[in-house]
Structure 1
Amino acid sequence: MADFYPITGIQDGLDPKIDAPLRKVHLRLEIDEWYQSQQIVHINQRALFFPAFWTFSQMSPKERLSYFQIAGIHGLPFVSWDEPPQKGETAGEGYCTHNSILFATWHRPYLMLWEQAIYELMKKEFNKYKELGIDQVPDLPELEEALHSWRFPYWDWALKKPTPENKNIRDYTVPEVFYTEKVTVRQPPPLNVADVSNAFYKFTMPEGMTFGDARLKSEDEDPLKNLQVSDLKDQEDGKEFIYPYSKVTTTSRHSTGKSTANTWIEGAQNNGEIVQALRDYPKNVSPGEEEVLRDGNLTASLRDAFYRTTTIKSFKEIATTRTGEGFQRKSYSFDSAEGIHNNLHNWCGGPADIDWSTKTAVQGHMSNVPVAAFDPIFWLHHCNIDRLIAIWQIKNPESWFEDNDKRNIDPGTFAIKRYHQAKAADNLRPFHNKTGNYWTSDEARHVAYCGYTYSGLEKWMYTKSDGSYDGERHIKALNVRLNQDYNSARSAAEKSELTADPGQEGPRLMSMAALQVEAKKAPIDLIGIDDYVINLIYEKFALGGAGYSIHFFIGKVPSQTPYVYDNLSTQVGEVVNFSAEPRNLGITPTGCENCEAQLNDHTQSSGRLILSNALITRWKNQVDHEPEGDGPRILESMRPEHVVKFLKHNLHWRVTSNGLPVHLTSMPSLKISLGVGKADHFADLTKESHFYEYRGAFEVTQGRLGGAGPEHGLYPPGFEYTVPS
């Protein structure tokens, strides 16, 4: 092998002019679409992919291009990859860039490396057919074309699809391929078809190894080459416990509240728990109420969060949860691609289950940064985050890094010194390009250059009469697709404005298009409504580096143990702090220097939870609540004066870490506000919905633990909401 591995992306059969503006490339497909497809090209791709993917997973961890080593770039075992053995720039850190402006772009060559390593093994599978010749494999050219057109798929967790339980109902799902240990695929003659092991089901260490197996030590005992994955340590109320990742042989997904370290040695794949986390929290409603509540959601919408992220206007805001100087602006979104990414990690990995009798805890790999990339679901999830960024780039082609923004001060990684001022031309270590230099954000900016794109982003399909790119027409077509698939805020606005108010006769469900056809009235151009969100800032390392979730409720918050709120009808959603590994892990003498630095620097992140849809459902269905004090039990209308008064008595929040409650006195940095803004939704689907002019309704939060007031600067001066007199 060469001194470095050149990451080029899959370029076979493509235009060699990789920077051509309208370059045609192949698509990364949605995993269920690809896995369930009966098209010959996809059947052939699966025939090559699944045997190759299993081979990839079972390669020796000592090999540079093994599943183990590529996944290990993200975090543990905290050693160099494709670089000379060296101590990391920031001790106790992997290469991954979290809470950094480089978050979006660093993962792009990382995904290309993963995709390319699998593709090289798929070529070997193809050669088994090629060696038999055209006589035994008459469709050999079609099989080769299937190989060249394959790209690693993505999981669109924000798209509602037909459910396995009922194909007539659409909801959030976990990919079908995660439920089966074997898949049936085509094989070379004379076998023709066979069941093969499915590496998507879980990652299993080769040769019966554990993640901390002694065989992973370097032969010359050099600690800079030690591939062992160590246990992670944490503590609650001064009591220490460990996550025994070194002792397991496979990856696990989502704890259940009944898990033990012994049951997780060979992996626990609780995919159904992930489904419940993705979907609206179960509604504890009385018999007969289900029919009423079917017309809306009592919780925040994942589709809505995805859609609104595509409407952010600046790269520095979509790229990272980290806040910058002067973030208190009218236009600040409080949300980001990294923010929605964090929630998915937590929902896939689940909360920690701590057994104090053994001082051990189990938690799905996806919930812990240092081991997250070992779970194969990580790669499908991150492809969708890459797709979200690529969608945003089509809509905002001019927005890019701003060299002097505070977000560019990097918190430090294995390859980046702490406080480095990140720029678009910086090396994205450890990823080498074909020249032997490192990839940069500038080089990874355009997906077609990298050899792939996503459905709906094909620039070559949108040209003007002179053959040049028609970006305006492309954006309009993309808006139609986004509005149809993800804009639940638009549907909620139609329900709010075009259906009967409580106690009135009239339609229960109506749309702008249906109303125009039915009433034969003049077209409705737009619906403008008041919009309600929770905006918050928090210190990423407020708990010394431990991850935590901020849960939000409309209505009474019951006391319960364990503190997992997914089955409560009053929870409207959560914001997840997907932190790096906890402080004082014990993996280095000093613990995690990066965590310590961000702790001392009071590094801030931001988040957002959208309330409008949940409030509209409560109002339309006149849902009864148990308020604090003598506040209203039922939301009277969607007007700000009624919503603010209602939420003052019914909006609550709780923080949990490792499945245990966190007292808000230990998190003085947490500042939560209710934002009252505007939303415009257009009858013309080629137009993007507009969310704007949020003002802080501090009457709801001021003076409460974790609540923001005007003195905390979440909004510009003068942007306070006041109840009309």
Structure 2
Amino acid sequence: MLPNLALWLAALGAALGPVVDAARVPVTGVRTNPGSAVPLRLNINDMQAKGGPGWDLFLLAYKQMYEMSPTDQLSFYQIAGIHGKPYVEWNDAGGRQSDGWEGYCPHGEKNFLPWHRPYLALFEFGTWDSQRRPQIYHCPAPYSYPNSANSNLRSRPYKQWTYDALTRSRSFDEFASPEGGGVGIEQIHNAVHWDGSCGGQFLALDFTAFDPLFMMHHCNADRLWAYWTAMNPSSAVFSGSYEGGARFATPSGTTITPDSPLEPFFQTNGQFHTSRTAANIRNFGYTYEGLEYWSKSEGQMRSDAVRLVNRLYSPNGVSVAGMLSAKKPQTRYFVQLELDMAEVPRPCQVQVLVADKFAGSMVVMQQPGRGIMKGGFPIDNAVKEAGLSKLGREEAIAKIKAALKVKIVKGDDESIPIESVSSFKWELEDITYTPAAGAEGLPKFTNPNKHALKVSG
């Protein structure tokens, strides 16, 4: 499947580059009258289950888009090719400036979520919430897919990860990436690419946008960002600046700010979209359940977003009995990981084990190819299975540290010695966790303590 696609892309990219219609396409999403209702972006499984004219029209539109000429800028081929290969200019947005990765998409950067919002508006797909329904359907791939993919998806506590990302993060930077501790949305995104990969295409960044799961998966990441923004309106996007990685129109080391261009996506005024213009879904003519902004105040949207997040992702549910029974403070355990991406074969997983049982992993994607990657995730389930959760805090920490192991695993399941990665560091974190006291409350994370761990497999 993947080799054939690679040959097709290479041939079409070489042949079509000079003849693509170069008229600039502004990315606006669905246009409606100011103050009026806009369409809700729906869960793909709910759309299919409901059926009817809406589902039929969706399938017909997707089929028509797929069958458009590859020279049309709004064809499936052209839009999917923006992300990675065939590495050609799109939308008359300017020539190649990259000194490394030559796709347009930024990976491992703070503008990861903002860049994808106008990209998704070009396609306008439904969402696939892998946290609620960790299952994919048959694909013409070898071996045991989709059973192995479904097993992979069920092996991670995606629901807990999502809840932690939405409730523990204190800033957009922490929410969008795992650098601030805990779990970030891009880390969850990376893991789904690994677990749901159908024969490898969904995991290969050069080709991933050609996989039918891609747009649905990223629409869900966008959806979680929208809920984060409703819950934290003053932290809708990153602040400050950083040195970006290489992309088609951007050389590595470029200073990136919230006002930097998100090539190749133009606004109607002829200027590029930026992270600031992408931060508000009102600019793109859609919304999600609970975020009907034309009829709600900012406070109402925050309350509705919190209530929805608790209902869908809280491990304790939102019933009064469930909330009251779980409101007692408890100790939770996380691991925090760090390494230089240039030192490991990519893609790969950094797997953590407790008492020789899988506790979780951090996926290192193909891109970016260099720089420090940080990640973290809870290991509460593994600690409980090892019989360590009911011990006193100090005794539990000592025994968890002794029971922890780590290894790096490539896509073919081959392990590499952790000692060979000189940049690798990891810590155990214990933190006091107080569950939300009600459907409109949020949990509290207090008194965090980190403990350095020895590097050994």
Alpha-carbon distance change, 95 to 392 in structure 1, aligned in 2, over 3 angstroms:
same
What is the DSSP-based 3-state SS (H/G/I as helix, E as strand, rest coil) of the residue aligned with 1:365? coil
What is the DSSP-based 3-state SS (H/G/I as helix, E as strand, rest coil) of the residue aligned with 2:255? coil
Cα displacement string for residues 622-659 of structure 1 (whole angstroms, at most 9, x for unaligned residues)? x6xxxxxxxxxx43724322322322332211111132
1:300-699 maps to which residues of 2 (within 5 A)? Answer: 301-311=157-167, 312-321=169-178, 323=179, 332-349=180-197, 363-401=199-237, 403-405=239-241, 408-462=242-296, 469=297, 471-488=298-315, 490=316, 513=321, 526-543=327-344, 546-556=346-356, 570-580=357-367, 595=369, 598=370, 603-616=371-384, 618=385, 634-635=387-388, 637-659=390-412, 660-698=414-452
Q: TM-score, normalised to structure 2's length?
A: 0.88
Choose from 24, 48, 52 the match for 1:35: 48
Number of aligned residues: 435
Matched-pair contact (CA < 8 Å) for 1:394–1:475: yes
Matched-pair contact (CA < 8 Å) for 2:266–2:272: yes
Residue identity matched to 1:481: L
What is the DSSP-based 3-state SS (H/G/I as helix, E as strand, rest coil) of the residue aligned with 1:553? strand
Cα displacement string for residues 490-537 of structure 1 (whole angstroms, at most 9, x for unaligned residues)? 47xx9xxxxxxxxxxxxxxxx87169xxxxxxx779321111111111
* Richer in helix (by share): 2
- Partners of 2:22 and 2:135 lie apart in 1 by 42
| Alignment partner, residue 73 of structure 1 | 82
Shift in Å at residue 546 of structure 1?
A: 1.9
Cα displacement string for residues 177-220 of structure 1 (whole angstroms, at most 9, x for unaligned residues)? x44xxxxxxxxxxxxxxxxxxxxx6xxxxxxxxxxxxxxxxxxx
Shift in Å at residue 445 of structure 1?
A: 1.2
Shift in Å at residue 403 of structure 1?
A: 4.8
Alpha-carbon distance change, 393 to 526 in structure 1, aligned in 2, over 3 angstroms:
same
- Partners of 2:83 and 2:96 lie apart in 1 by 16
What is the DSSP-based 3-state SS (H/G/I as helix, E as strand, rest coil) of the residue aligned with 1:457? coil
CA RMSD of aligned residues (A): 2.5
Matched-pair contact (CA < 8 Å) for 1:541–1:579: no
Alpha-carbon distance change, 656 to 403 in structure 1, aligned in 2, over 3 angstroms:
same
Choose from 65, 68, 76 the match for 1:56: 65
Alpha-carbon distance change, 271 to 553 in structure 1, aligned in 2, over 3 angstroms:
same
Identity %: 26
Correspondence 1:705 to 2:456:
yes
What is the DSSP-based 3-state SS (H/G/I as helix, E as strand, rest coil) of the residue aligned with 1:442? helix
- Partners of 2:26 and 2:116 lie apart in 1 by 16
Alpha-carbon distance change, 674 to 173 in structure 1, aligned in 2, over 3 angstroms:
same
| Alignment partner, residue 173 of structure 1 | 135
Residue identity matched to 2:353: F
Residue identity matched to 1:100: E
Alpha-carbon distance change, 91 to 579 in structure 1, aligned in 2, over 3 angstroms:
closer
User: Which 5+ residue runs of structure 2 have no aligned equivalent?
Assistant: 1-20
Alpha-carbon distance change, 307 to 514 in structure 1, aligned in 2, over 3 angstroms:
closer
What is the DSSP-based 3-state SS (H/G/I as helix, E as strand, rest coil) of the residue aligned with 1:679? strand
- Partners of 2:101 and 2:160 lie apart in 1 by 36
What is the DSSP-based 3-state SS (H/G/I as helix, E as strand, rest coil) of the residue aligned with 2:405? strand
| Alignment partner, residue 272 of structure 1 | 147
Matched-pair contact (CA < 8 Å) for 2:437–2:443: no
Shift in Å at residue 66 of structure 1?
A: 1.6
What is the DSSP-based 3-state SS (H/G/I as helix, E as strand, rest coil) of the residue aligned with 2:190? helix
Shift in Å at residue 484 of structure 1?
A: 2.2
What is the DSSP-based 3-state SS (H/G/I as helix, E as strand, rest coil) of the residue aligned with 1:527? coil
Alpha-carbon distance change, 83 to 675 in structure 1, aligned in 2, over 3 angstroms:
same
- Partners of 1:524 and 1:337 lie apart in 2 by 29
| Alignment partner, residue 10 of structure 1 | 30
Shift in Å at residue 478 of structure 1?
A: 2.2
Shift in Å at residue 33 of structure 1?
A: 0.6
- Partners of 2:390 and 2:434 lie apart in 1 by 19
Task: Pick the structure with greater CA Rg.
Answer: 1
- Partners of 2:215 and 2:119 lie apart in 1 by 10
Matched-pair contact (CA < 8 Å) for 1:513–1:683: no
- Partners of 1:159 and 1:536 lie apart in 2 by 26
Shift in Å at residue 542 of structure 1?
A: 2.0
| Alignment partner, residue 117 of structure 2 | 108
Alpha-carbon distance change, 536 to 84 in structure 1, aligned in 2, over 3 angstroms:
closer
- Partners of 1:415 and 1:656 lie apart in 2 by 33
Matched-pair contact (CA < 8 Å) for 1:104–1:320: no
Q: TM-score, normalised to structure 1's length?
A: 0.57
What is the DSSP-based 3-state SS (H/G/I as helix, E as strand, rest coil) of the residue aligned with 2:402? helix
Matched-pair contact (CA < 8 Å) for 2:332–2:433: yes
- Partners of 2:121 and 2:359 lie apart in 1 by 36
Matched-pair contact (CA < 8 Å) for 1:334–1:606: no
Shift in Å at residue 343 of structure 1?
A: 0.4
- Partners of 2:326 and 2:359 lie apart in 1 by 31
| Alignment partner, residue 15 of structure 2 | none
- Partners of 1:33 and 1:173 lie apart in 2 by 14
Residue identity matched to 1:607: G
What is the DSSP-based 3-state SS (H/G/I as helix, E as strand, rest coil) of the residue aligned with 2:83? coil
- Partners of 2:235 and 2:82 lie apart in 1 by 29
| Alignment partner, residue 238 of structure 1 | none
1:59-138 maps to which residues of 2 (within 5 A)? Answer: 59-83=68-92, 86-115=95-124
Correspondence 1:44 to 2:71:
no
Alpha-carbon distance change, 450 to 104 in structure 1, aligned in 2, over 3 angstroms:
same
What is the DSSP-based 3-state SS (H/G/I as helix, E as strand, rest coil) of the residue aligned with 2:60? helix
- Partners of 1:439 and 1:256 lie apart in 2 by 42
Shift in Å at residue 346 of structure 1?
A: 0.7
Matched-pair contact (CA < 8 Å) for 1:527–1:682: no
Shift in Å at residue 416 of structure 1?
A: 1.4
